[in-house]
Amino acid sequence: MERICLFPGTFDPITKGHVDVIDRAVSLFDKLVIGVGINATKQPMFSVEQRCEWIRDIFKDEKRIVVEGYEGLTIDYCHKIGAQYILRGIRYVADFEYEKAIADMNRMLAPDVETIFLTCSPEFSTISSTLVRDVIRNKGNAGMFVPKEVKF
């Protein structure tokens, strides 16, 4: 059975922290789907198409990685693509508390899908897409926080 994992997120924009988690997770699965979520409660800075394009460019040489936009319940998308796992990156304890609540809800909705948490490397623990967007909005240099493929 092929081990398929979904790494869902808005990736608005993808950061070096996201890339760190993806780089370390990809060898654990036969296929890692990076799901760029469309969240009705969030107003993204970059289009889904742009975010997917950046991620595809970053991982163009990794055949186990697929990038797709999706909307709706993450657990429904897992079933649609045959994913048995959901990957979540953790920076701090507060991230874990939030992510565990979501994982518990997902487990109740779909006991066949397991959530796996990976902590990011320490040098990326302070980077978040929210902070990167603030730097961009205020015309600061966000280049040190995002992969070189991310251009704005």
For the chain, how many helices (H) and strands (E)? Answer: 5, 5
* Mean pLDDT of the region 38-46: 87
Distance, in Å, from the CA atom of 132 to the CA atom of 48, rounded to the nearest integer, reads 17
List, in sequence order, every residue forming a beta bridge with 38; answer none if it has no partner. Answer: 71
Confidence of residue 41 (pLDDT cuts 50, 70, 90): confident
Confidence of residue 135 (pLDDT cuts 50, 70, 90): very high
Distance, in Å, from the CA atom of 143 to the CA atom of 152, rounded to the nearest integer, reads 10
- Residues 91-110: pLDDT tens digits? 988 889 999 999 999 999 99
Mode of pairing for the β-strands spanning 65-71 and 31-38: parallel
Q: Are 6 and 74 in contact (CB under 8 A)?
A: yes
Instruction: Kindly report the CATH number assigned to the domain that includes residue 20.
Output: 3.40.50.620
Count the domains in the chain: 1
| 146 located within any domain | no
The pTM of the full predicted model, rounded to 2 decimals, is 0.95
| 144 located within any domain | no
| 96 located within any domain | yes
> How confident is the model at residue 22, as a pLDDT?
98
| 147 located within any domain | no
| 120 located within any domain | yes
| 41 located within any domain | yes
Torsion of CA 5, 143, 121, 71, to 10 degrees: -20
| 71 located within any domain | yes
Which residues carry out catalysis?
18, 42, 91, 129
Range of the domain at 43: 4-137
